[in-house]
Amino acid sequence: MTKTKKEAKNKQGKQLIEVPHRGFWGHFLFGIGMFLTRTLGRYRVVGTEDIPEPPYVISSNHVTLVDGMWICAGLPQKHQKVFTAIAGSDLMTDYGLFGQIMMLVGRAIPVNRFGNPVRGLIMAKKAVDQGYIMLVHPEGTRSSDGKLAKLQDGASYISIKSNVPMVPTYVHGGYEVFSRHMSVPKPFDWKKFKRKSITIEFGKPLLPTDYNNVSEMTEALRQWLLTRQEKPLT
């Protein structure tokens, strides 16, 4: 009988982590969330031709609580099955039922944003080594004004240490739909009487072999994100 990938790794003595499952309710809520996004807003995806085969790291700007859902929905369907993300554990404790739903829908690995980040990075790297796609928001928290904040090196660290590509990703229009200053999403512009646009743009993968260290890779990511910020898609 052929051994599964998980069994083979166990035989090699490598420690595995249990990535959260969506389950029935997670898939149901994911479907509802994307149905509302596509119905009330104008959702589209560009750059899917540049997406590599798993595993890889996705590194994106962070403007809403549902960035992960929108990004995951833009991936090929078979990739969605191995999608997971790093998310602050406070999402479960400080954002009520909605935060718990987002953790479930995003299959999020909780990390303490206000403590030592090393444990979270190690868990994320192990998940990537097991074949998962890992979403990391290098800003660490949602933007307060829609602009890119200082980036941390976590995404680059995982990419280089696991030797997998990093896919730079930009969420266009998300801040206007569901910024941190809104209690509920507002995908419809009642003044102009039209749906707001949400565009997920995937860039060409950044390859860890092209950089000498994590700082260089993070700077390349920053430059790509700034270019997209300055020339938003409509």
Confidence of residue 16 (pLDDT cuts 50, 70, 90): confident
Does the residue 13 lie in any domain? no
Average pLDDT over all residues of the chain: 90
In this prediction, residue 96 carries a pLDDT of 85
pLDDT the model gives residue 3: 39
In which band, very low, low, confident or very high, does the pLDDT at 234 lie, cut at 50, 70 and 90? low
Across 165-182, average pLDDT: 97
Segment 197-216 shows an average pLDDT of 98
What pLDDT is attached to residue 6? 43
Q: What is the percentage of the chain residues whose pLDDT exceeds 90?
A: 72
Q: How many CA atoms lie within 13 A of 27 on its CB side?
A: 6
Does residue 185 sit within a domain? no
Q: What is the pLDDT of residue 8?
A: 42
User: 3-state SS string over 162-214?
Assistant: HCCCEEEEEEECHHHHHCCCCCCCCCEECCCCEECEEEEEECCCECHHHCCCH
Mean pLDDT over residues 114-135, rounded?
A: 88
Quote the pLDDT of residue 95: 84
CA distance 130 to 206: 20
The larger pLDDT score, comparing residue 6 to residue 182, is at 182
Burial of 110: CB neighbours in 10 Å, binned 0-12, 13-18, 19+: middle
pLDDT band at 130 (very low <50, low <70, confident <90, very high): very high
| 5 assigned to some structural domain | no
C-alpha–C-alpha distance, residues 196 and 178, integer Å: 11
Question: Which residue, 72, 108, 76, 73, is CA-closest to 89?
Answer: 108
Number of compact structural domains in the chain? 1
Question: Are the CB atoms for 173 and 196 separated by under 8 Å?
Answer: yes
CA dihedral 158, 233, 183, 154 (to 10 degrees): 10
Give yes or no for residue 113 having a pLDDT over 80: no
Three-point CA angle 233, 134, 90, nearest 5°: 90
pLDDT-based confidence at 4, cuts 50/70/90?
Answer: very low
Secondary structure, 3-state, 43-103: EEEECHHHCCCCCCEEEECCCCCCHHHHHHHCCCHHHHCCEEEEEECHHHHHCHHHHHHHH
Task: Give the pLDDT of residue 121.
Answer: 85
> How far is Cα 100 from Cα 153, in angstroms, rounded to an integer?
26
Angle between helices 154-162 and 118-129 (to 10 degrees): 40
Is the model's pLDDT at 208 over the cut of 60?
yes
Please indicate, yes or no, if residue 62 is contained in any of the structural domains: yes
Average pLDDT over residues 177-184: 95
The residue assigned the tokens 């690995």 is 109
pLDDT tens column, 78-91: 999 999 999 888 88
Which CATH number does the domain housing residue 71 bear? 3.40.1130.10
Q: What are the tens digits of pLDDT across the range 32-43?
A: 999 999 999 999
Contact call for residues 202 and 45 (beta carbons, < 8 A):
yes
| Residue 186 covered by a domain | no
Residue 138 covered by a domain: yes
How far apart are the C-alpha atoms of 106 and 99, rounded to whole Å?
10
Q: Provide the residue range defining the domain that includes 166.
A: 21-177+192-230
Give the mean pLDDT of 121-142. 94
Say how far apart CA 55 and CA 35 lie, in whole Å.
27
- The answer to whether residue 99 sits within a structural domain is yes
DSSP 22: -
Q: Looking at the domain assignment, is residue 150 inside a domain? A: yes
pLDDT in the model for residue 92? 81
Nearest-angstrom CA–CA distance, 49 and 35: 24
